[in-house]
Every structure is written in structure tokens, then in C-alpha cells.
Amino acid sequence: MFKNVTAKLGRSDLNVIAAVLAIKGLILFFGAQAYQIVNDRPLDGANSFLGIWNHWDAALYLKIAETGYTAVGDDRYLIVFFPFYPALVHLTAIVAGNYLTSAFIVSGLASVALGLAFNKLVKLDHSERTAHRAVLFLFIFPTAYFLHIPYTESLFLALSVGCFLAARKRYWLIAGALGALACLTRINGLILLPAIAFEVWEEYRETRQFDKNWLFLALIPTGFAGYLALNYFVAGDPTVFLVHQREHWWKYFRLPWEGALETFRRIDNPKPAEAQITGTQEFLFLILGLASTLAAWRYLRKSYWFWMAANWLLFVSTSFVISVPRYTLTLFPMFILMAILSKQGRWINASIIVWSILFLALFSIQFTRGWWAF
């Protein structure tokens, strides 16, 4: 059976799987070593080894997976977290018997699927070498540890990239289904519909014919409709998540330049650590996302550009801009741009790699200590 699977995957796919698993193992190993050195505290057993990553949203996703949603008490605010990831963790825990381990299994499988899908997507327009570089830059990005721990990043990106790949190959039913699941995972899954519409337009320009299979893309927003139904079933209000976002997390719509300016002002925080994490790094990644989006207009497909522009606006147009370095992972076409840029010179390629690994290590240490790292 294993030989049949490897034969179907091919050498390029196997190289990607090996690279993703190797990077995953190194990040988790580094996190464990850094935790013990920095905290002067041992790790005992698998739960301790994985538990150092169980902070912030990870702990909340695990709580949802274990106990579900509720409309009463402090846990009522958990409705703002979309259900597909914790549902998969819950189903996996039925077999694995441990929610923390199950979350790592789900994220692990999703990260491998992401690597494979992204490699295939890039190869539609570029060489295999460029595709492998794009995958590498994605998985060593400074916040790439979120692809391996109990967060939605790997699952959402696997579904989103898979949706783009299916659309590029004109598998419209698959694109619609993957888009719907992405909408059940994160709200920005809704951006897939207008982004993929650019691919519909490209096909129409080629054929000058209407394809009824395009209608399968109407499946995409049904995922979000399912989330609204969950809100109604749990709390009696399909939009209660917006209320909790504003009241508990102080998040509401704001013009993008207002959020960007507020982020820039946080650089002047008298506490150096907070100034760097919530000010300097947030603002630098905000600029990185904007610059990459502008470059995408010239160098990439318009569907990729729209995906980047809409996502960037979504996480900047808010009352309190936060987690931009993590959300920047969503801008997956940016890594194609990095791969293209890296071919202009070895020093450029080396600079991208060194910058990525240095800050990946820094942020990973911060996160495993239980300190805020996006």
C-alpha cells in the first residue's frame, strides 16, 4: 500500500512531504530545547513536549473541541471561533484519546496537504525549483510555527490553496466544496468567492462560453451560512459573534489607515518588549503585506492579487490591529513573489532565509514561554 501511495505522489511531492516533516520536527524540537534552556525547567513526556505550544487561541480551540459551544458564562465568547478545526480535533480525539495530541495530528496532516497543494499550484506557472523555494519560504516564515500547532492556519491555508488549485484546473465542484470548508474555518474564506471569480473570467476569456459548473462556486458561502446557523442554534442570534467580538475583544470595523496609524504609535510604548511585539513587528509585517500585495498586481495572477488585497484590508481595517505577522501567512502568493525575487541573486535568497529563520526562532521562543507572539 505504501509503495502505491509513493508511486502516485512522485518525487517532487515526496520531497515536499519530507521537507515539511523535517521542518516540523525541527521547530518542535527547537521549541522544546529553547523552553528548557530559557526556563530552566524539564519537559516530562509527550504532553509536556506538546503542551508548551498550548497557549492563547490554541487552548480555546481545544476547549471547544472538548466541550463544544455554549451561550452562558465566560465560554459564550468562544462562538467567535469557527467550528471546522475544533470539530476535526474532536473527531480525531475519538480515536487518539487525547485532545492535545489530536490537535497536532490535524494540524500536521493539514500542513502536509498545504505543502503538496501549494507546490502543485506554483508549478502551474513556474519551475519546480521556484515551487520548492516558495514552499520553503512559507514553512520557514517567522510565524510558520502556527502551521504546526493547535491553530487554524494550516487547515485554512490547505483548504484555500486547494480551492485555488482546483479552480486553476477547472474542477469547479471541488473548488466550491473546499471553499465552503474554508468558510467554516475562518471568516476570510468568504474572500475565496470573488477571488476565484477572476479564474472564471479567465476561462470565459479563453472559451467565450458559459460553463454551468461555475455554479458550484455558490457552495463557498454555504460554509459561512453554516457558521451563522451555529450562532443561531447556540445563542438564538446568527450574528452574536459580532457582538462578542466588539464587547469582549474590542474588535470592530475601522478604516485601514486608522488601524495602521494606531499600530505605528504603539512603537513608542515605554515598555521595550511590548513596543517591539505589538508595535514594531506588527507594523513591519503590515508593510510587508502591503508591499507584497502591490507587487502581486504586476507579477501574479489577478485572482492572487485580489486574495492578498482583500485579506490585508480585512486584518488592518479593525479597531485594534493585532496578530498581523500571523495573518500574513494567509497571503500565500507572497511566497511565490519571494521565490521569484530569490532568483535574482544568492545574497537575496540567503537574506530571506536568514531573516526568516532568525525571527522564527525568536517568536517560537516567545510563544513557548507563554508570552504573546501573535
Q: What is the pLDDT of residues 60-88, one digit of tens each?
A: 999 999 999 999 999 999 999 999 999 99
pLDDT at 169: 98
pLDDT digit string (tens) for 162-206? 999 999 999 999 999 999 999 999 999 999 999 999 999 999 999
| Residue 126 zone, left/alpha/beta (φ > 0; ψ -120 to 50; rest) | beta
* Confidence tier at 250 by pLDDT (50, 70, 90): confident
Amino acid letter for position 141: F
At residue 5, does pLDDT exceed 80?
no
Higher pLDDT pick, 327 / 8: 327
At residue 3, does pLDDT exceed 90?
no
The count of C-alpha atoms lying within 13 angstroms of the C-alpha of 40, restricted to the half-sphere facing its C-beta, is: 0
pLDDT at 2: 43
Rounded mean pLDDT, 102-119: 98
Q: How far from chain centre, in Å, is Cα 176?
A: 19
C-beta atoms surrounding 347 within 10 Å: 9
At residue 42, does pLDDT exceed 50?
yes
3-class state of residue 54 by DSSP:
coil
At residue 138, does pLDDT exceed 60?
yes
For 322, the grid coordinates are 493585532
Give the integer Cα–Cα distance in Å for 92 and 286. 35
Rounded mean pLDDT, 319-348: 97
At residue 323, does pLDDT exceed 60?
yes
User: What's the mean pLDDT when you consider all of the chain?
Assistant: 96
pLDDT at 7: 55
At residue 249, does pLDDT exceed 50?
yes
At residue 6, does pLDDT exceed 80?
no
What percent of the chain stands above pLDDT 90? 94
What percent of the chain stands above pLDDT 70? 98
At residue 264, does pLDDT exceed 70?
yes
pLDDT at 4: 52
Q: Residue with C-alpha cell 459548473?
A: 213
Are 119 and 135 in contact by the 8 Å Cβ rule? The answer is: yes
Give the integer Cα–Cα distance in Å for 88 and 262. 37
Least confident of 41-45, 110-114, 357-361: 41-45
Rounded mean pLDDT, 112-132: 98
Give the integer Cα–Cα distance in Å for 301 and 42. 49
pLDDT at 45: 85
Give the integer Cα–Cα distance in Å for 288 and 6. 37
* Confidence tier at 1 by pLDDT (50, 70, 90): very low
Q: What sign does the CA torsion over 61, 64, 70, 73 have?
A: negative
At residue 54, does pLDDT exceed 60?
yes
Rounded mean pLDDT, 249-269: 92
Rounded mean pLDDT, 327-339: 98
At residue 123, does pLDDT exceed 90?
yes
